[in-house]
A and B are shown apart, each in its own frame.
Chain A
Amino acid sequence: MDVLLQALLNGILIGGILICLTVGFQLTFGVLHVIDFAVGGWVMLGGYAAYWASRLLGVDPFISVFFVFVLFAGVGCALGPLIYHVRTSRYARPDLMALAFTFGIFIMMRGGALWLWSFDSRSVDSVLSGASLSIGPVTVPLLRLSAFGMALLLGLGLFVLLYRTRFGMAVRAVAQNRDHAGLMGVDVKRVSAYVYGIYTGITASAGVLLATIYSVNPEVGVRYTLFAFFVAVLAGLGSVGGVLVAGLVLGLVESLVGTYVGTRYSLLVVFATLYLVLLISPKGILQRGI
């Protein structure tokens, strides 16, 4: 029973990490219709920003996370119009061109990180590193709990932004139909740039936590891109709400299989789950995807 409780908790907390990774990715897909291959790159750069802030300035990741959000949101806003331009170009297959464009950005990020921070894996310390809470037989790692808290906050924050603000209404309008939204007076290009900025800010902030929980190196981006893609597909591409459910489902599957069947098979079962969902419900777990 103790092991089961710990496994369930581990699964929920892994789910929190997956949600942090994917929620921005979903938002940007819903609005810009871009599968952003650079998602793992933003996570990696966020992690390195926290590493520098910690090593050079002595700033704890829980403080630097806010600065990282602002910094990367700014970078994303600057890059957003370029992505929009590629995605809406009149040349053939702009969807594939956008995919290739973000892939190129990702390659540059990876190469740049290798050049700037070399090949070592970097561990980022925070006040919560190694801290845990014991509730009966269950150990709750506080860092992972904070990531889960961040996932909940992000979910709630995005809900408020999308459904309780005028900007959110504009975002939803662009997501539904870009041309019609433009005809109704929405500045589609600007909204898209802001959405891309929100996405990069959120994803880089998630990177801060992930670097603290695990470690960061120039190659981690590939792994995070893959995981973000799996969660997004399970959630239904473009469905922000679906991410919350999909992240938790995948986290629980990974943890329970790892505990009771063998960690060796956990990714196999995760892929099998993904396959089954695509077969039965191609629009994702909540049937709300594109």
Chain B
Amino acid sequence: MSQRIRSSRRALPGWRCAAAFIAVALLVAGCGGSSGGGTGTTSGGGKQVAVGLITKTDTNPFFVKMKEGAQKAAKANGAKLLTAAGKFDGDNAGQVTALENMVAAGAKGILITPSDTKAIVPSIAKARAKGVLVIALDTPTDPQSAVDALFATNNFKAGVLIGQYTKAVEAGKPLKIATLDLAPGISVGILRHNGFISGLGAGTADEKTTSLVNPASVVCSNDTQGDQAKGQTAMENCLKKAPDINVVYTINEPAALGAYTALKAAGKDKDVLIVSVDGGCTGVKAVQDGKIAATSQQYPLKMASQGVDAVVKFAKDGTKASGYTDTGVTLITAKPASGVDSKDVAFGLANCWG
């Protein structure tokens, strides 16, 4: 989940402030000059509601889209959006620091996609103790009750959908499965993987299972960090190990495209079924091109905008959002399988992100 794509649309005020800061830095470096310090005014003024958004990383298109959704909703509500992210997937300390700083900055509520679902809990508790509304986006905390509310797609269900699809398409055939997973111990990766296995009916797992379930039909399992290049390497290695693989589960679409490249190079792209999760625009196009058979589409934009709305509502009348709100998941495929609900590529492209 760390495909390195840079968003070209960064908030302009950020640039201006950064530029001002660097100007001061250069001033100091150049001549050790006077401590003028700019008196330019950004932000701060008025009774704007401040909403914090903390994503896992700054670079993954999924989170970039999430930020866009939050930005739009904040603008519509006249709220101010503070954003921060961990430096890498799994950077708990970075998220803790961001939480603290947002509380210090006076955020009314904070939306967070926890990198480490357990490790973040004490820090969330501290923020909530100061009266800040904390909503988990996309990924539940462990325990889920550590936050006021959860707005998420169900990653397990996303896995189940592609598992069921695979079962329907490959009905009766003996399966040789490769799973291209995320990274050790990251819950999203475990949920999607186990959902897939469960939907396939190949093994028993539920949303509470904390480790990857690998039945005998999974002949190869590798971590990819959700990265295309690593996905390709992982697939190449799997093909060495088990040349007769016929199903490839991938943690996300970049990993799926990496796997496709490896399979194509080995001349096996026609014989192997690739399924994935995310529903990014590149991913849906890959479904359209037949590179990926099916993908479970999620809606990051929706989670973020609903989250911002909830914080604004809390600031206005004190109503706290609570419980779990499923922002939905849809199976997208160009070749529907009987007995499995799915939408076509046109729907996927209309609702895709990234």
Q: Do A and B bind each other?
A: no
